[in-house]
Amino acid sequence: MRKEFLDLRRQPIANKFLKEDEFKDEFFFDLKVVFDDETKLVSLKEFVKPELMFNEDYAYSTSMSYPMVKHFELTANMLKEEFNPETVLEIGSNDGPFIKNFDTKISICVEPCENFAKKTTDMGYRSYISFWDTDVSHGIKEIHGEMDLVYAANCICHIQNLDECFAAVKNILSENGVFVFEDPSLLRMLERGSYDQIYDEHAHIFSVTALNNILINNGLTIFRVDNLSVHGGSNRIYVARNRPVEFSVAENKQREYDFGINNFQTYEIFAERVRKSKKDLVELLTKLKGEGKRVVSIGATSKSTTVFNYCDIGESLIECITDTTPDKQGLLAPGSHIPVVDRESVNLNDYDYAFLGAWNFKDVIANKEREFVENGGKFITHVPEVMVFS
Assess 75 for contact with ligand JHZ (CB under 6 A).
no
CB of 154 to ligand JHZ, least distance (A): 4
CB of 308 to ligand JHZ, least distance (A): 12
Q: What are phi and psi of 227, to 5 degrees?
A: -90, 125
Assess 324 for contact with ligand JHZ (CB under 6 A).
yes
217's enclosing H/E stretch is helix 208-217
Assess 207 for contact with ligand JHZ (CB under 6 A).
no
Assess 64 for contact with ligand JHZ (CB under 6 A).
yes
β partners of residue 353: 295, 378
β partners of residue 295: 353
Assess 297 for contact with ligand JHZ (CB under 6 A).
no
Q: From the list 201, 253, 288, 309, which residue makes contact with ligand JHZ (rule: CB under 6 A)? A: 201
Contact 381, 389 (CB under 8 A): yes
Q: Which stretch binds ligand JHZ (CB under 6 A): 74-82, 250-258, 267-275, 359-367?
A: 359-367
Assess 361 for contact with ligand JHZ (CB under 6 A).
yes
Give 209 or 301: the residue with its C-beta nearer to ligand JHZ: 301
Report the half-sphere exposure of 316 (CA within 13 A, side-chain side): 7
209 Cβ contact list (under 8 Å, min separation 6):
40, 253, 256, 257, 261, 262
Assess 329 for contact with ligand JHZ (CB under 6 A).
no
Q: Which of positions 141-160 make contact with ligand JHZ (CB under 6 A)? A: 154
User: What are the helix and strand counts (H, E) for the chain?
Assistant: 12, 17
Contact 239, 195 (CB under 8 A): no
CB of 124 to ligand JHZ, least distance (A): 23
Closest Cα partner for 235 from 299, 186, 198, 171? 186
Assess 299 for contact with ligand JHZ (CB under 6 A).
yes
Q: What is the SS3 assignment for 128-166?
A: ECCCCCHHHHHHHHHHHCCEEEEEEECCHHHCCCHHHHH
Give 364 or 387: the residue with its C-beta nearer to ligand JHZ: 364
Give 108 or 333: the residue with its C-beta nearer to ligand JHZ: 333
Q: Which stretch binds ligand JHZ (CB under 6 A): 3-11, 25-33, 59-67, 210-218?
A: 59-67
Can you give the binding site for ligand JHZ, defined by CB under 6 A?
60, 64-65, 67, 154, 201, 231, 299-303, 322-325, 358, 360-361, 364-365, 368
